[in-house]
Amino acid sequence: MSTVTSLAHADTNDLDAFFMPFTANRQFKKAPRMLVGAEGMHYITMDGRRVLDAAAGMWCVNAGHCREQIVQAVQRQAATMDYSPAFQMGNPAAFELASRIAALAPGDLDTLFYANSGSEAVDTTLKIALAYHRARGQGERTRFIGRERGYHGVGFGGTSVGGMKNNRKAFGSLLPGVDHLRHTHDPKEMAFSRGQPEWGAHLAEDLVRLCELHDPSTIAAVIVEPVAGSTGVLPPPKGYLERLREICDQHGILLIFDEVITGFGRLGASFAAEKFGIVPDMMTMAKGMTNAMVPASAVLMRRGIYDALMQGPEWMIELAHGYTYSAHPLAVAAGLATLDIYRDEGLFERAAALSPKFEDAIHSLKGLPHVTDIRNLGLMAAIDLEPRPGQPSARGYEVFLECYQQGVYLRYTADTLAFSPPLIVEESQIDQIFDTVGKAIRAVA
């Protein structure tokens, strides 16, 4: 049994009682990294250190930690109405939040369905895609196309359309009828690109190949992250998303953007759809929706999808789908307060204004030992390190650990380091992040 003796209730604290998600449990429990507080741009560790958060938690605390306005909104709501069902009952604030989010999105992305996590939002989009086609008499459209290196959460739907191989391999055959586009990252052509790579629009033609293989009339939807996040920040090549949109339109296939990371200012715009000027048929969102203070997610869909589902007698439930905690009052209160902060502090614009500085700072690490690629867009970026022979992910972990010890928290996936600071980050903190990372890369052989 591994324990942490300095915790208040050390005698009852069996670390093995918590099977930690996406964690090397045995390694972690030998030397736990415990966080006990958070404020603005920082975490506070159990041993009292302040650690700069270069990852916005997990790409989610976009307005910074423990924002008073959101804390108060959640506290007020908890004391007023702790919970209300969203099945056959309404809370006016949930309609207000839906309208305000829809107003941030481009085109006729007008109707919002609430869930609680990014994974649930993804699976919701897939189910709505099927139900939509069926409602229009095209029930034979049942296939989904994801993309290699895509991450769409951990439900069976999201795992199936996802393309990160370690996330799939233990879980059997997953959903039938799913295929994948090739991913868009080719370091030979685009290493050290700043922003969207010039090369690679033609990779969207892979969708034409899959349409020919499966017959487009069998394909319900294509789902992609507009900028792939968890796989290591892959901005789309210029023209790529535009071409996916064209091919989907040509064949009546729905295009879904998974905006769980890219939503709420990460790219210096409300959503990636806004930034790239491409209107998908549905988009997911989560993370920054409530500044991560209360779990919440949603699917925003074009008006035509909602309208197509409004069929049959009015007393009938139109979509047999939803969650006990859909539109949870605490999440809705947090969401409204979060949107106020984004608006009042101009945080999406702030992210856009800071991104050239962020880009210069991270690209200044080009040329350091083992750095094989650096990529960025808006306030998200990644550094690829060359894996140590026979020890994949060891180097990434050691750099992460060294940075944490030196006061900077970042995310790492295998040998890729990822950065997505809260949008309130100061220029001096951007310097601190990349100075620390540079020293850590030099220190770790």
Burial (CB count <10 Å: 0-12, 13-18, 19+), residue 82:
exposed
What b/e readout covers 366-380, taking b as 16+ CB neighbours within 10 angstroms?
A: eebebbebbbbbbbb
92-104 vs 329-344: helix crossing angle, rounded to 10 = 40
CB of 157 to ligand PLP, least distance (A): 11
What is the residue whose two structure tokens read 């007698």?
Answer: 313
- Give the three-class secondary structure for 412: strand
Residue 230 binds to ligand PLP (criterion: CB under 6 A): yes
- Give the three-class secondary structure for 153: coil
Residue 286 binds to ligand PLP (criterion: CB under 6 A): yes
Helix, strand, coil abundance in the chain, percent, nearest 5: 40, 20, 40
Residue showing the smallest CB distance to ligand PLP in the complex: 118
- CB-nearer residue toward ligand PLP: 119 or 270: 119
CB of 213 to ligand PLP, least distance (A): 26
Residue 144: how many CA atoms within 13 Å on its side-chain side? 26
CB of 259 to ligand PLP, least distance (A): 7
Give strand pairing partners of 39. Answer: 42
- Give the three-class secondary structure for 441: helix
Binding mask 113-152 for ligand PLP (x = CB under 6 A): ----xxx--x----------------------------xx
Binding residues with ligand PLP: total (CB under 6 A) = 14
- CB-nearer residue toward ligand PLP: 223 or 444: 223
CB of 283 to ligand PLP, least distance (A): 11
- CB-nearer residue toward ligand PLP: 206 or 258: 258
**Which one among 101, 253, 261, 267 touches ligand PLP, defined by CB under 6 A?**
261
Structure tokens at 224: 């992609």
CB of 291 to ligand PLP, least distance (A): 14
- Give the three-class secondary structure for 16: helix
- Give the three-class secondary structure for 101: helix
CB of 184 to ligand PLP, least distance (A): 15
CB of 125 to ligand PLP, least distance (A): 10
CB of 22 to ligand PLP, least distance (A): 9
Site residues for ligand PLP, 172-211, by CB under 6 A, read: none
427-443 vs 347-363: helix crossing angle, rounded to 10 = 30
C-alpha dist (Å) from residue 350 to 60, 142, 357: 16, 41, 12
- CB-nearer residue toward ligand PLP: 207 or 298: 298
Residue 260 binds to ligand PLP (criterion: CB under 6 A): yes
Q: Are 428 and 67 in contact (CB under 8 A)?
A: no
- CB-nearer residue toward ligand PLP: 263 or 329: 263
Which chain residues interact with ligand PLP by CB under 6 A?
117-119, 122, 151-153, 225, 229-230, 258, 260-261, 286
